[in-house]
């Protein structure tokens, strides 16, 4: 108990926006893996240069599960909104995170490569918004 109180690690902000009844979803990646995933929620972290982290629990074999994070920088969102003269809704921000997750499923060679945080910058935001026709 005391170790937790005096550790140097800052406590993670609790997740918000988690569905009441999480639904397992499936994605067949171009990497050849079939991923199962749950959306666990999001958190806003001002310490990390103002980011929103979308947290997913994923598995490629349905036996071992791991948490992976899609991080959107507020500066990237603000830059896109300023350039396009409109605000992205919460649903659109979630859609951007989910498409970024799918791209990581497709591009990363193995499930272990998904341990690294998936970063979403201005270029990725613009590409996803254009692809979705938003």
pLDDT at position 12, please?
65
Residue located via tokens 């998904």: 114
Q: What's the pLDDT tens digit per position in 23-68?
A: 999 999 998 999 999 999 999 876 766 889 999 999 999 899 999 9
C-alpha dihedral sign at 70, 61, 131, 90: negative
pLDDT confidence bin for 92, thresholds 50/70/90 = very high
- Residue ranges per domain, the chain? 11-132
pLDDT at position 5, please?
41
Check whether 10 has a pLDDT greater than 70: no
Residue located via tokens 């800052």: 10
Check whether 80 has a pLDDT greater than 60: yes
């Amino acid at each position: 108990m005391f170790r937790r109180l005096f550790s140097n690690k800052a406590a993670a902000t609790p997740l918000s926006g988690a569905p009441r009844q999480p639904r397992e979803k499936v994605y067949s990646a171009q990497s050849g893996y079939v991923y199962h995933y749950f959306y666990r929620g999001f958190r806003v972290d001002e310490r990390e240069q103002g980011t929103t982290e979308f947290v997913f629990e994923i598995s490629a074999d349905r036996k071992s599960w791991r948490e992976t994070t899609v991080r959107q920088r507020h500066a990237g969102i603000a830059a896109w909104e300023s350039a396009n003269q409109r605000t992205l809704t919460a649903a659109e921000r979630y859609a951007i995170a989910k498409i970024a997750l799918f791209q990581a499923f497709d591009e990363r060679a193995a499930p272990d490569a998904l341990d690294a945080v998936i970063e979403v910058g201005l270029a990725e935001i613009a590409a996803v918004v254009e692809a979705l026709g938003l």
